[in-house]
Amino acid sequence: MSRLLNAEFHRLIKYKPYWIECIAVVLYGIYATLLNDFGYTPSIDSFLYRALPYIGIISGAVVSQFIGEDYTCGTIRNKLINGHTRKTYYLSELIVNFLANVTVFNFYVITTILAGSLRKWEFEFKTKVLFNCYIACIFTIFLITAMSVFLIILIRYKVAGLITIVSLSIFLLIMGNDSYNKLREPEYLLPNEYEIEEKGITEPIQNVLYYGGTMRKVYELIIFSDPYGQAVYDTELMYDKYIEFDQSKVATYPYIKIIIFSILESTASIVIGIYLFNRKDIR
């Protein structure tokens, strides 16, 4: 397996779409921090993990092309003929692409820190909090990578794989973002100026957009089981707390839940993926 890993890493280093992805992420980090006037002084934290959902989509697209090229060129068949098992090939692609995606994410994080420092922005949260958020992001990236590898290994065709992964990622991002926003709604809101002056309401009122009970558990399950729901949550994880009449805390023990769901879902996709790959006819 080490020989195959080494070969795949060398192929990745020369793979142009991957370097285009890295450059795009760095440029986005520069644009988001250096080239915008906010009218106030933000903290570095607020930008630190913001790009994770979009990095996930782009990385999924690159994974689809990287593995799809093996199918298109017939090199996957040659690798299997040369003594590598399908399990070894599957795991090698997973490891290589996961490390590649983490590297892309690190490029963005480092760019954000350097650019924020140039603008004399400061960190709002302690290192421990930011590190915990970073670890949660890494587990989410692993889940996104596992999902991408699972899909493209089974789809085979580069264009079909690209369309499937990008379309599914966008759908999951929309669903995860919607669930996250719903759970942030507070249970009660202070009356606005019109309600106070025209209706004489002075007490906090029930927020019709608030979800509690069973539906709250359902939306929480969606966030943690959806890799892009996790990614959306990761971007604001350090700010997730209860603020009366302003926002609800999305979930309790989010770091633990992100790690557990990522491990369980990734493991399931790997086991099922290898099983299906072993039964797949490779021409």
Annotate 19-47 with b (16+ C-beta within 10 A) or e (fewer). Answer: eebbebbbebbeebbeeeeeeeebebbbb
Pairwise CA distance, residues 45 & 240, whole Å: 13
The backbone torsions φ and ψ at residue 206, rounded to the nearest 5 degrees and listed phi first, read -65, 130
Long-range contacts of the stretch 15-19 (C-beta < 8 A, 24+):
15/66, 17/62, 17/65, 17/66, 18/62, 18/66, 18/100
Please state the three-class secondary structure of 211-227 as a single string. Answer: CCHHHHHHHHHHHHHCH
Q: What is the pLDDT of residues 231-241, one digit of tens each?
A: 999 999 999 99
d(Cα 250, Cα 232) in Å, to the nearest integer?
12
> Could you say which DSSP state residue 229 is in?
H
Output the pLDDT for position 19: 95
Per-residue pLDDT tens over the stretch 149-191: 999 988 877 888 899 999 999 999 999 999 999 999 999 988 8
- State how far the alpha carbon of 189 is from the alpha carbons of 21, 144, 181, 213, 243, in Å: 43, 36, 16, 19, 11
Is the torsion defined by CA of 91, 94, 97, 98 positive or negative? negative
Q: Which two tokens stand for residue 233?
A: 């949550």
Stronger pLDDT, 283 or 225, i.e. the higher one = 225
Taking each helix axis from N to C terminus, what angle separates 227-235 and 52-73, rounded to the nearest 10 degrees?
140
User: pLDDT for 257-278, tens place per residue?
Assistant: 999 999 999 999 999 999 998 8
Cα distances (angstroms) measured from residue 16 to each of 21, 25, 136, 211:
9, 14, 29, 46
Kindly report the pTM of this predicted structure.
0.93
Q: Would you say residue 282 has pLDDT above 90?
A: no
Q: What is the pLDDT of residue 197?
A: 66
CA dihedral 236, 137, 224, 268 (to 10 degrees): 170
